[in-house]
């Protein structure tokens, strides 16, 4: 290219950016969680105009009328009830040192699910409810629970139950590390991985309501509001950690360790974009 043409092109490009015709690269790459959440919610509302925004928390049941009716019947005697009862009992039982979970959480742990995960500015990391529960145990001399098994599911089921109906209220403090964690979570959500070359978005943005084998895929919006869940496929309860690691295995990716930074950031992102939608956990899924 001749130098004159090259210079003219550069001037034209810069003018276009200056006039706002073309977004500058830095503007595109700067995270804007508020705009993201607005766009995220708008996408699903427009894709499923018959579904009310708050109904997305019911996952696949919000996508299919027959399944919705079956689910309403199932809720009369929900399969997570045993876990809920166990969680309530565990939550109220003091540790060996006499303290309890209530001592570790604001408002004694009742009705606070909607505020998790949060960004801890002291630590510079995202703290999920599951992580906070295990830290509470360890701080009181108890061994941590597995993140993917029944005890953790029971505890989080009870805490979610006491928060039902409260809208997700995830905050991103004015701290560049918090914004970075959010952005990392967003990147994880959209990144393809595993031999099947799927991202979280491949199923839960591009194909909610469609079947993958016998299952109806849930929409990404509100997907964590119902956690933990009883899954018929699992024949038991599952935590958010179990959901994330299982998703990775299903696409033939080696799961990360539960509560790895990536999963914590993913939970932060997914919860933030569902701000305003009610907690509905514990949930039941096919």
The catalytic site residues sit at 247
Q: Which residues, in sequence order, are CB contacts of 252 under 8 Å at separation 6+?
A: 194, 195, 196
Question: Looking at 193, 207, 236, 247, which residue binds other proteins (CB under 8 A)?
Answer: 193
Q: How far is CA 82 from the centre of its chain?
A: 24
| Residue 18 contacts other proteins per CB under 8 A | no
User: Of the ranges 32-40, 53-61, 100-108, 148-156, which one interacts with other proteins (CB under 8 A)?
Assistant: 32-40
CA distances from 144 to 127, 138, 226 (A): 15, 6, 23
Taking a C-beta distance cutoff of 8 angstroms, is the pair 275, 34 a contact? Answer: no
Q: Are residues 56 and 208 in contact, defined by beta-carbon separation less than 8 angstroms?
A: no
Segment lying near other proteins (by CB under 8 A), choices 154-162, 169-177, 202-210, 230-238: 202-210
Q: Please identify, using beta-carbon distances, which residue of 164 and 187 lies nearer to other proteins.
A: 187
How many residues lie near other proteins (CB under 8 A)?
24
Residue pair 226/282 in contact (Cβ under 8 Å)? The answer is yes
Site membership for other proteins, residue 39 (CB under 8 A): yes
Q: Which residue in the set 194, 209, 236, 286 belongs to the binding site for other proteins (CB under 8 A)?
A: 194
What one-character DSSP code corresponds to residue 22?
Answer: S
Q: Which of 62, 83, 163, 199 binds other proteins (CB under 8 A)?
A: 199
Site for other proteins in 255-284 (CB under 8 A): 256, 262
Residue 195 interacts with other proteins (CB under 8 A): yes or no: yes
Closest to 134 measured CA to CA, from 6, 35, 258, 11: 258
Of 17, 22, 43, 125, the residue at the interface with other proteins (CB under 8 A) is 43
- Does residue 174 belong to the site contacting other proteins (CB under 8 A)? no
Here the tokens at position 133 are 């529960």
Q: Would you count residue 242 as binding other proteins (CB under 8 A)?
A: no
Interface mask toward other proteins for 60-89; x: CB under 8 A: ------------------------------
- CB nearer to other proteins: pick between 203 and 279: 203
* 252-274 per-residue burial string, b: 16 or more CB within 10 A, e: under 16: ebebeebbeebbbbbbbbbbbbb
Structure tokens of 91? 């939550």
Backbone φ, ψ for residue 238 (5° rounding): -140, 140
Q: Is 125 in the site for other proteins (CB under 8 A)?
A: no
User: Binding other proteins by CB under 8 A: which of 132, 136, 153, 205?
Assistant: 205
Find residue 191's DSSP bridge partners: none
**Dmax over Cα atoms in the chain, in whole Å?**
81
Taking the C-alpha atoms of residue 150 and residue 217, their distance in angstroms, rounded to an integer, is 24
Q: Is 169 in the site for other proteins (CB under 8 A)?
A: no
Within 10 angstroms of residue 7's Cβ, the number of other Cβ atoms is 11
**Of the two residues 113 and 204, which places its CB atom closer to other proteins in the complex?**
204
Looking at the Cβ atoms of 186 and 264, the one nearer to other proteins is 186
Binding site for other proteins (CB under 8 A): 36, 39-40, 43, 186-187, 190-195, 197, 199, 201-202, 205-206, 249, 252-254, 256, 262
């Amino acid at each position: 290219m001749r130098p004159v043409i090259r210079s003219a092109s550069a001037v034209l490009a810069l003018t276009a950016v200056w006039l706002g015709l073309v977004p500058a690269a830095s503007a595109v790459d700067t995270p804007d969680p508020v705009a993201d959440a607005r766009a995220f919610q708008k996408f699903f509302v427009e894709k499923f105009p018959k579904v009310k925004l708050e109904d997305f928390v019911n996952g696949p049941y919000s996508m299919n009328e027959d399944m919705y009716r079956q689910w309403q019947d199932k809720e009369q005697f929900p399969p997570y009830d045993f876990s809920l009862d166990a969680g309530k009992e565990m939550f109220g039982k003091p540790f060996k040192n006499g303290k309890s979970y209530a001592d570790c959480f604001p408002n004694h742990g009742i009705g606070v699910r909607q505020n998790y995960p949060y960004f801890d500015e002291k630590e510079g990391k995202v703290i999920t409810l599951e992580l906070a529960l295990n830290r509470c145990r360890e701080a009181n001399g108890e061994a941590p629970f597995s993140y993917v098994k029944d005890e953790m599911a029971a505890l989080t089921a009870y805490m979610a139950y006491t928060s039902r109906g409260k809208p997700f209220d995830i905050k991103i403090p004015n701290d560049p590390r918090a914004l970075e964690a959010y952005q990392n979570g967003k990147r994880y959500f959209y990144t393809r991985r595993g031999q099947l070359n799927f991202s979280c978005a491949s199923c839960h943005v591009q194909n909610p309501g469609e079947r993958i084998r016998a299952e109806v895929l849930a929409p990404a919006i509100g997907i964590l509001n119902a956690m933990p869940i009883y899954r018929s496929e699992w024949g038991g309860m599952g935590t958010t950690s179990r959901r994330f690691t299982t998703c990775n295995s299903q696409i033939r990716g080696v799961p990360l360790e539960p509560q790895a930074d990536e999963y914590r950031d993913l939970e932060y992102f997914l919860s933030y974009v569902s701000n305003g939608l009610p907690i509905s956990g514990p949930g039941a899924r096919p």
